[in-house]
Amino acid sequence: MTMPIASVALPSGETVPALGQGTWMMGETAARRADEVRALQTGLDLGLTLIDTAEMYADGGAEAVTGEAIAGRRDAVFLVSKVLPSHASRAATIAACEQSLKRLGTDRLDLYLLHWRGGTPLEETLAGFAALQEAGKIRHWGVSNFDADDMDELLAAGGGAVATNQVLYNLTRRGIEHDLLPWSAKHNVPVMAYSPIEQGRLASHRELLRIAQTHGATPAQIALAFVLSRPCVIAIPKSGRAAHVRDNAGAAGIELTAADFKALDAAFPPPRRKRPLEMI
């Protein structure tokens, strides 16, 4: 059964699910591979058709798991991967993408991200992205772990076609609400939120438990519903077990009340000033 998942529009006008699936820490052990593949496939069945991975995760192991999960279903998936900063020159970006495509068992990525800023000039990476687009290897490109000033530099370097910026965002990591989220809204660049449940650590928070009880939900679902309530934000929780994926999907049907938001702001105060961009 496919869940009713809200969508977010990319700058191109194409829409993607507001709730997708992450793969960080997948592919690290053979013993968990079957469960991880099954979890991703369960998510696809539930409408979580955006899958995010990266060449860095398990040295390509997460891409291999993803490739197995989407075999025979590639056209139903919005597939995202990332290039390491150490591979961010024009030639190395192209080569890294080719290797990712082989591990994923596909001929194209829907979105290719620079994982974080390194020492390579942004113009070099953008040239690699442009060549990959021209060759039909990637459809869109974006960035990850860029703060507002980084995004300004990106635009100045000719990166006006950026499709998204993937950053850490959850109830305990609300710093981006001060400047990066407003910047993203102004420039129509959706934010992709990784670790939206703080890798499960929010699941035992007392206030989240109280709010969850009023909705017949779990604390983790409330934490995820908070992220999903933000306009132009795509959440990509990772889960290696099908049962957890079903729980994540259930968060899409939760509508938080004004009282809920007030309680969450009291328990997890929004930023009052600029904070350094956080990464995990």
**Each residue's pLDDT tens digit, 160-170:** 999 999 999 99
CA 9 – CA 13 distance, rounded (Å): 6
Is the full-model pTM beyond 0.75? yes
Closest CA to 147 of 105, 111, 189, 106: 189
Residue 98 burial (CB count, 10 A): 12
Q: Are strands 191-194 and 165-168 parallel, antiparallel or unpaired?
A: parallel
CA 280 – CA 271 distance, rounded (Å): 19
- Over residues 9-21, the mean pLDDT reads 97
- Over residues 202-227, the mean pLDDT reads 95
E strand spans, the chain: 7-9, 15-17, 21-22, 50-52, 78-83, 109-114, 138-144, 165-168, 191-194, 233-235
Per-residue pLDDT reduced to its tens digit, 238-272: 999 999 999 999 999 999 999 999 999 999 999 99
Active-site residues, by number, are: 57
Residue 86, classed as helix, strand or coil, is helix
For the chain, domains (ranges, CATH) are: 15-267 (3.20.20.100)
Which residues line the annotated binding site for substrate?
Answer: 115
Per-residue pLDDT reduced to its tens digit, 100-157: 999 999 999 999 999 999 999 999 999 999 999 999 999 999 999 999 999 999 999 9
Residue 257 burial (CB count, 10 A): 11
Q: Are strands 7-9 and 21-22 parallel, antiparallel or unpaired?
A: unpaired
pLDDT of residue 1: 47
Which residues line the annotated binding site?
Answer: 115
